[in-house]
Structure 1
């Protein structure tokens, strides 16, 4: 499987204009809820923050990959948000983020295996500066898919 194959265009918002981590996590969680990927936004976000407390998910280059195992996940999924400006986030390079790739993962052991596969797929792609540049310039879901191709 490739990263682009795990992307659902309905779970992409390239026109976010939010100020905080809370805002962007809420916005992307609502996409999951609308598509039936999670049962409850607040429970899911609480679980993401529990994972955030264990270590930063800002990987540098204006990108964050928050995730967390949650009982509220109905089906594993990835949501991608592109914000119009940098927002504060704990990251490896000390900068904020504009690109957030949020993973929804169930809490059972099979889900954990899928979670690691997905993270690995995306991490490999996000290590490529050209992919990140494409994401930062993305205006629509097709641009996101093209960046990951």
Structure 2
């Protein structure tokens, strides 16, 4: 499984509107629920915050990759939200966030392996400033998918 195989238009919003981290995570979690990736929004969000308490998921360059294992996950996926306005988030560079990759990963070992592969692939791409700039300027899901080609 690679990143392109989990990019699903139903859980991508390139014009997301959220005032803060909590709103952003809840909004993306609800998209995952409506598309069938998770069974329970509250349980899933609680599991995300367990991971958030362990360390920053804001990796810098206006990007956050919140994630956490949850028994609420029914299918591995990644919800993506791009904001027009920067929101406050705990980040490595002290800047806010405009681009969020919210991972939906189950608790079992196979899901854990898939999660690590996807996280590594996303992190590799996000380590490239040019790729991040292209993602921040993406106006369509196709623009976004090209970055991961």
The TM-score normalised by the length of structure 1 is 0.96
Runs of 4+ deviating beyond 6 Å: none
Alignment of 1:94-109 (within 5 A): 94-109=94-109
Taking the aligned partners of 1:139 and 1:24, their CA distance within structure 2 comes to 19
Distance in 2, matches of 1:74 and 1:93, equals 34
Aligned: 1:52 with 2:52: yes
What CA RMSD, in Å, does the superposition of the two structures yield over aligned residues? 1.0
Separation in 2, partners of 1:77, 1:17: 21
Secondary structure at 1:114's aligned position in 2? helix
Matches of residues 43-122 of structure 1 in structure 2 within 5 Å?
A: 43-122=43-122
Q: Which residue of 2 aligns with 1:144?
A: 144
- Gap runs ≥5 in structure 2: none
The more displaced of 97-106 and 130-139 is 130-139
Q: Does 1:128 pair with 2:128?
A: yes
Where structure 1 has 5 or more consecutive residues not aligned to the other structure, the ranges are: none
Offset at 1:147? 2.4
Contact in 1 for aligned 2:6/2:76 (Cα 8 Å): no
Q: CA deviation at 1:12?
A: 0.4
Moved more, 138-147 or 102-111: 138-147
Alignment TM-score, normalising by the size of structure 2: 0.96
- Equivalent position SS for 2:68: strand
Distance 2:48 2:77 in 1: 14
Alignment coverage as a number of residue pairs: 149
